[in-house]
Amino acid sequence: MTAIQAIAEDARIAGAWAVLATVPDPEVPVVSVRDLGLVRDVALIENELEVVVTPTYSGCPATEYIASSIIEALDAAGLGPARVRMQRAPAWTTDWMTDEGRGKLRDYGIAPPGPVANAGAVPVRFAGRRAGGDAADAPLACPRCGSVHTALLSAFGSTACKALHRCLECKEPFEHFKPL
C-alpha cells in the first residue's frame, strides 16, 4: 500500500466517524449513535467500511433501523460501500456515552446517567442499584431547573432504559436515562 492510499483510507475512516456523529438515535433523536456510544469501531476491510455497533440491549427493536440508517448516511456521504456488524459482547454501558451526548440529553429534558459503579465485569444482579452508598445514591438533578429536590414517579419511562421522575421545585416531569 502506498502512502497516498493509506492517507485516503484514513480520510475515509475519519469521514465515516464524522458522518456517524450525525446519525440520530431513533428513540432519542437529539443524540447520535456515536453520542450514545453505540459505534464501537470503524474499519476498512477490502475497500468496504465495516461499522461495529453494540445496541443498548440485545433485544433492542431498533437494531435493524439503526443499521440501515448508518449505511444510508455513509452511502449518501459517498463513503460506501459499507456494512454494519453487530457486536453484543461486551454489553453496552452508559459509560460509553460521550460528554456531548450527556449534555444533549440534559438540554432535551432527559437527566443523563451518571457513571456506573464498578464498570468492570460484574455478575448479573436482580436487585436495584441504589444500595451501597455509591454514585447512584447521589440526588438526581432536574434537567430543567437544576434542583436536586426530585422524586421517582415510575421505575420505567417511555422505554425500559429510562425512569420517570418529577421535580418537586418546578413541578415538571422528566425522564432519567438509567445507568447500565
Cβ neighbours of residue 50 closer than 8 Å, sequence gap 6 or more: 41, 42, 43, 44, 82, 83, 84, 85
Q: How many domains does the chain have?
A: 2
Q: Could you tell me the pLDDT band of residue 5, with boundaries at 50, 70 and 90?
A: low
The pLDDT value recorded for residue 120 is 55
Please check whether residue 92 is in contact with residue 55, taking contact to mean a CB–CB distance below 8 angstroms. yes
Q: In angstroms, rounded to a whole number, what is the distance separating the alpha carbons of residues 178 and 57? A: 13
State the amino acid at position 106 in one-letter form: R
Q: Could you tell me the pLDDT band of residue 43, with boundaries at 50, 70 and 90?
A: very high
Q: In angstroms, rounded to a whole number, what is the distance separating the alpha carbons of residues 3 and 20? A: 26
Domain-ending residue, one of 35, 62, 86 = 86
- What is the layout of strands, in order, in the sheet containing 39-45? 39-45, 48-53, 82-86
pLDDT over threshold 60, residue 126 = no
Same domain, 81 and 107: no
Q: Is the peptide bond before 90 cis (omega within 30 degrees of 0)?
A: yes
Average confidence (pLDDT) over 129-151 = 74
Evaluate whether residue 28 is within a structural domain. Answer: yes
State the amino acid at position 59 in one-letter form: G
Same domain, 72 and 114: no
Q: In angstroms, rounded to a whole number, what is the distance separating the alpha carbons of residues 86 and 33? A: 13
The pLDDT value recorded for residue 121 is 55
The pLDDT value recorded for residue 75 is 96
Q: Give CA 170 to chain center in angstroms.
A: 28
Helix extents (H) in 99-166:
99-108
CA nearest to 39, candidates 6, 13, 12:
13
Q: What is the CATH number of the domain that holds 15?
A: 3.30.300.130
Cβ neighbours of residue 40 closer than 8 Å, sequence gap 6 or more: 52, 53, 54, 87
What is the value of pTM for the model shown?
0.73
The pLDDT value recorded for residue 172 is 93
Evaluate whether residue 91 is within a structural domain. Answer: no
Evaluate whether residue 105 is within a structural domain. Answer: yes
